[in-house]
Amino acid sequence: MCALTGRARPRELGYGRGPVELVYPLLSFDLDRDAFVVWLRWTSMERPPSPEEPPAQGIRIELQLNRNTVLGPTIAYRRDLERAPLYLRAARARVAEVLRVAARRGTVDIQLIIHGSIANAPYAALYQARGEPAEVGAPVGELVGTPLLQVQPSTPGDRWHVAGQASLRVRLELVERRRLPVLA
């Protein structure tokens, strides 16, 4: 019986005799050295691929933390993605602001959203990159490792458009370095 409503409680999900506790992975984020980096790739499904049809065709990308946008919505155009994959870094100040608030609750919801056309296979992956602030930007080369999230829609939403989204809830641990004031 529920003490508040006086009604019988719905059966709790459990293995064996006890209830199940949800456990989320831990994300340790250093506000001074870490960045969220989104890697984008474009693979044409057309055979032969149309050279410039349309020239402004692309992928719309957005990264959200607790429903707060920290990257985008922005568009990566086909003409930029055909040469090589593209890396986008989330706004450092906005990420720090959202994560400081999220740290009070102890968890953060991460959401990566993309939209594209069915003439291509848009792909996006989210990484947590660590380095000194000047070093964490657009990586020179491929990021080797498993992304936190990845999205590649395979079923068109309608005749010309696909959309995909990946979400992840993590426990959040912030690392902040205390800076000493400089006395003149």
Task: Let me know if residue 8 belongs to a domain.
Answer: no
User: Domain of 89?
Assistant: 24-175
Task: Let me know if residue 4 belongs to a domain.
Answer: no
Q: Which residue has the higher pLDDT, 128 or 85?
A: 128
Q: What is the mean pLDDT of residues 27-55?
A: 74
Task: Let me know if residue 104 belongs to a domain.
Answer: yes
Q: Provide the pLDDT confidence category of residue 144 given band limits of 50, 70 and 90.
A: confident
- In degrees and rounded to multiples of 5, residue 103 shows phi and psi of -60, -25
Task: Let me know if residue 14 belongs to a domain.
Answer: no
Q: Which residue has the higher pLDDT, 23 or 49?
A: 23
Q: Domain total for the chain?
A: 1
- Identify the CA nearest to 61 among candidates 72, 52, 50, 69: 72
- Identify the CA nearest to 78 among candidates 46, 113, 53, 45: 53
> How much is the CA Rg of the chain, to the nearest whole Å?
21
Q: Mean pLDDT across the chain, nearest whole number?
A: 77
Tell me, what's the pLDDT at 90? 93
Task: Let me know if residue 109 belongs to a domain.
Answer: yes
Query: Cα 79 to chain center, whole Å?
Result: 23
Q: Provide the pLDDT confidence category of residue 47 given band limits of 50, 70 and 90.
A: low
For residue 51, pLDDT over 70 is answered with no
Task: Let me know if residue 182 belongs to a domain.
Answer: no
Q: Provide the pLDDT confidence category of residue 59 given band limits of 50, 70 and 90.
A: confident
Which residue type does 114 have? I
Q: What is the mean pLDDT of residues 128-133?
A: 78
Task: Let me know if residue 181 belongs to a domain.
Answer: no
Task: Let me know if residue 78 belongs to a domain.
Answer: yes
The H or E element containing residue 116 is strand 107-117
Q: Provide the pLDDT confidence category of residue 14 given band limits of 50, 70 and 90.
A: low
- In degrees and rounded to multiples of 5, residue 66 shows phi and psi of 50, 45
Percent of the chain whose predicted confidence (pLDDT) is above 70: 65
Measured CA to CA, the distance from residue 25 to residue 128 in angstroms comes to 14
- In degrees and rounded to multiples of 5, residue 105 shows phi and psi of -85, -25
pTM value > 0.85? no
Q: Which residue has the higher pLDDT, 151 or 98?
A: 98
Q: Which residue has the higher pLDDT, 161 or 86?
A: 86
